[in-house]
Structure formats: structure tokens, C-alpha cells
Amino acid sequence: MASLSQGLSSGPVRSRSDSGPLLAYVLLGIGAIVMIIPFFWMLTMSLKDPSEILKPQFLPAAPTLDNYTQVLTRTLFPNWYFNSLVAASVSTASVAFFDSVTGYVFAKFEFPGKRIAFLLILATLMVPTEMLVIPWFIMATGVKLADTTLGIVFPGLITATGAFLMRQAFQSVPDELLDAARIDGMHEFGIFTRVAWPLVLPALAAVCIFNFLGNWNAYIWPLIVTSQRLTMTLPIGLAFFSNEAGSAWNLIMTGATLSTVPLLTVFVFMQKQIIQGVALTGMKS
């Protein structure tokens, strides 16, 4: 009787535990739908004829690509797209190298003032960007970098966040492996590039992805350092285009749709690297 009562009592508990994952999936599915609907609405608006914009219908009656043709041929959208792509790519390449070197040095070398220097680097994370734009602008105008791609990029050539994450990743590399390479006669830069660097590629991928997305969406600094339409990046160009287009929501949504293509591409194809990088960088302090 005791065993029977235990079996009966364990049944509801098991069913409740089984319903937990199902409820989580339902809630995640609802959240995903809520987040996808605005993107889907933006896409459908970009495919509508101007006469259909104010009609109470979600899908376009006659989908058209004329909006994309107008945006790509009659505006400076290709220039803004190219400027953002170059700025984000150059910044990401610079961060991939310099943040890796910085993280490697702080993780694998001992020198006087190491902890203080690292704390000072981390302290820069507490300084708001709004407080830095004035000295950045003075520097950019002083060396003739205003309205140039390098002027847009130079504040983000090395980042404290990336240096911290790479330091965390390099700490997981065994010191014995590096010592063995030194015994074999390999120079330090070779040890860094050929031994240590390949072991932290997931973390490096996460740093590069986050940096690319951040620079692609950057608004405040590009707005301040650029004044000519040809040198503007995509977020700044879209803001001006939205003001000029007025009520032409089909064109505005077309530009917004095109601007999300690189972001969606990164998230779709690099999800695994993002998750692995975040997990690895938080394993050892």
C-alpha cells in the first residue's frame, strides 16, 4: 500500500515537471512572434505601392520592388551603406588584433603596475560616450579627420570591453603549452598568433560580432564628426532621409529593411559563435 501511494503521489509531480519546458517553449514562442511582427510589417510596407500605405491591410495586394529601385538609385543610400560597411569592418579588424594583444599581455605576462593598468582600462567603461565626444571632436578636427572614414573609426580602434573579454579567454590557455613553444625556440609573436590565438577563436568571434554590430548602429559620434552627405554613415543618412521623405513610408521602410540585412545575416550565421564566446569568456576570472 505504501509503494502504491508513493507511485500515485509521484504521478502529478512528474506531470508538473514535464509541463515546465512546454510552458517555457510557449512563452518563448509568443515572445518570438511579438518581436518578429514589427520586422515583418516593415518588410511588407517596403513592398507596397504608395496607394496601399494607408489601407487597412497587412499584406500588399500587389508586391513591388519599385521602392528598392528608387532608394538605391535616387538617393545616397549606397554611399551611406558603403561608409557604414567600411567603418564597421575596419573597426572590427582593429579590435580583433589590438584587443587580442592587450588581453594576451594582461593574461600571460607579469610586469609592475599590471593590476593598476588593467583597472584603469576597465574604469573607462564607466565614462559615458557623451563625455568623450568633445575631446574626440577636438582631436579629429586638429588632425584633419573630420568628414573622413578614419575620423568615424578612430575612437573604436581598441575597446576596453574587448580587451577584458580577450583577457578572460586567454587565461584559459594553459601556460605549459606556451612554455613548450618557447622551449622549441618560437618567438613571442609567433606564440601569440600560432599557439594562443587559435585557441580563443570563439571568444574572438564574439568580440568581433558585438563590435561590428555596435559600429554599424553607431549614431552619436558619426553624427558629430560628419557634416557632408557623402561621408555620412547609414544611421545618420536614414535619419536625414526620413525627414526629407516626409510621409513616404514605403521608401522609409525600404531603407530600414535594407539597413537590417547585415545585422540579420550576422545573427543567423554566427549564433553559435556568439553563444560560445560569451560562455567561454565568463568561465574564469
Mean pLDDT to the nearest integer, 251-255: 88
Under the banding of pLDDT at 50, 70 and 90, the label for residue 279 is: low
CB atoms within 10 A of CB 241: 22
Considering only residues 121 and 263, tell me which one the structure prediction assigns the higher pLDDT.
Answer: 121
Residue 273 above 60 pLDDT? yes
What's the confidence (pLDDT) of residue 16? 52
Residue at 146 is within a domain? yes
C-alpha R_g of the chain: 25
| 222 vs 7: CA distance, rounded Å | 67
Write the pLDDT tens digit of every residue in 23-76. 888 898 999 899 888 888 888 888 888 888 777 777 888 888 898 998 888 888
Considering 95-104, 123-132, 258-267, the range whose residues carry the highest mean pLDDT is 95-104
Residue at 213 is within a domain? yes
| 266 vs 268: CA distance, rounded Å | 6
CATH number, domain of 87, equals 1.10.3720.10
Q: Evaluate whether 192 touches 128 at the Cβ level (below 8 Å).
A: no
Residue at 26 is within a domain? no
Residue 1 above 50 pLDDT? no
| 91 vs 181: CA distance, rounded Å | 31
Instruction: Indicate the pTM of the whole model.
Output: 0.81
Say how many domains are in the chain. Answer: 1
Residue at 50 is within a domain? no
Residue at 16 is within a domain? no
Under the banding of pLDDT at 50, 70 and 90, the label for residue 117 is: very high
* Least-confidence region, from 100-104, 142-146, 192-196, 276-280: 276-280
Residue at 92 is within a domain? yes
Average pLDDT score over the chain: 85
Considering only residues 81 and 247, tell me which one the structure prediction assigns the higher pLDDT.
Answer: 81
Residue at 5 is within a domain? no
Residue at 1 is within a domain? no
Distance of CA 68 to the CA centre of its chain: 25
Q: Write out the residue range of the structural domain in which residue 255 sits.
A: 76-281
What's the confidence (pLDDT) of residue 75? 86
CB atoms within 10 A of CB 177: 12
